[in-house]
Copies of this chain bind each other. A is one copy, B any other.
Amino acid sequence: MQLYTKILLGMGIGVALGFLIGPNSAILPQDGVQLSKKAVVRVEASESATPAFLARGLKRAKLVQESASGFHQIEWSLQAPDLLRLQKSAKTDAQKTLLKQTKPGAQLTGYVAANSAAIKTYARIGQSAVDATEWLGRLFLALIKMVVVPLVFFSLVVGVASLGDFRRLGRMGGRTIGLFMVTTVVALVIGVGLTNIIEPGNFISLDDKASLLASYEDGASKTVSNAAQAPSMVDQIIAIVPSNPIKSLATGNMLQIIFFALMLGIALTMLSEERSKPVVQILDNLNEAMVMLVHIAMKLAPIGVAALLFKVVGTTGLSVLLALGVYGFVVVLGLLLHLSLTYGLIVKLGARLPFLGFLNAIKPALLLAFSTSSSSATLPVTKECVEDNLNVSNQVSSFVLPLGATVNMDGTALYQGVAAIFIAQIYGLDLTIADQATIVTSATLASVGAAGVPGAGMITLAMVLTAVGVPTEGLALVLGVDRLLDMFRTTTNVVGDSAATVFMARLEGENLQFFSSTEDARNPKKGFEGRLEASPHSVVPEQQD
* Residues of A near any B CB (own CB < 8 A): 79-81, 83-85, 87-88, 100, 103-104, 134-135, 138-139, 142-143, 145-146, 148-150, 158, 161-166, 224-225, 227-228, 230, 232, 234, 237-238, 241-247, 249-252, 260, 263-264, 266-286, 288-290, 292-293, 296, 442, 462-464, 466-467, 469, 471-472, 525, 532, 534, 536-542, 544-545
Contacts and interface: CB of A to CB of B under 8 A. Distances in A.
Given A104-B466, A238-B139, A88 B293 contact: no
A542 B146 contact: no
B541 A83 contact: no
A137 B504 CA distance: 32
A442 B228 CA distance: 43
Given A83-B466, A224-B84, A534 B270 contact: yes
Kindly name the residue among A135, A164, A225, A288 whose own CB sees the greatest number of chain B CB atoms within 10 A. Answer: A288
A103 B469 contact: yes
Nearest to A239: B142
A274 B544 contact: yes
B536 A266 contact: yes
Oligomeric state, in copies: 3
B282 A143 contact: no
A290 to B, nearest CB: 7
Given A81-B466, A142-B243, A275-B544, 18 more contacts: A80-B467, A88-B224, A135-B237, A142-B241, A145-B244, A146-B243, A149-B244, A161-B539, A250-B250, A264-B293, A267-B290, A267-B292, A270-B534, A272-B545, A275-B545, A276-B289, A282-B282, A525-B545
Given A142-B243, A165-B536, A466-B84, A272 B544 contact: yes
B280 A539 contact: yes
A102 to B, nearest CB: 8
A155 to B, nearest CB: 11
A271 B244 contact: no
A479 B161 CA distance: 47
A244 B289 contact: no
Given A146-B243, A149-B245, A162-B540, A238 B545 contact: no
B247 A251 contact: yes
30 contacts: A81-B227, A81-B463, A84-B463, A88-B225, A134-B234, A135-B237, A142-B238, A143-B241, A145-B243, A161-B538, A162-B540, A162-B541, A163-B538, A164-B539, A244-B250, A247-B252, A249-B250, A271-B289, A274-B544, A275-B285, A275-B544, A275-B545, A276-B285, A276-B539, A277-B539, A278-B281, A279-B286, A280-B540, A282-B282, A285-B544
Contacts of A532: 270
Given A471-B100, A525-B545, A538-B165, A87 B228 contact: yes
Nearest to A251: B247
A390 to B, nearest CB: 19
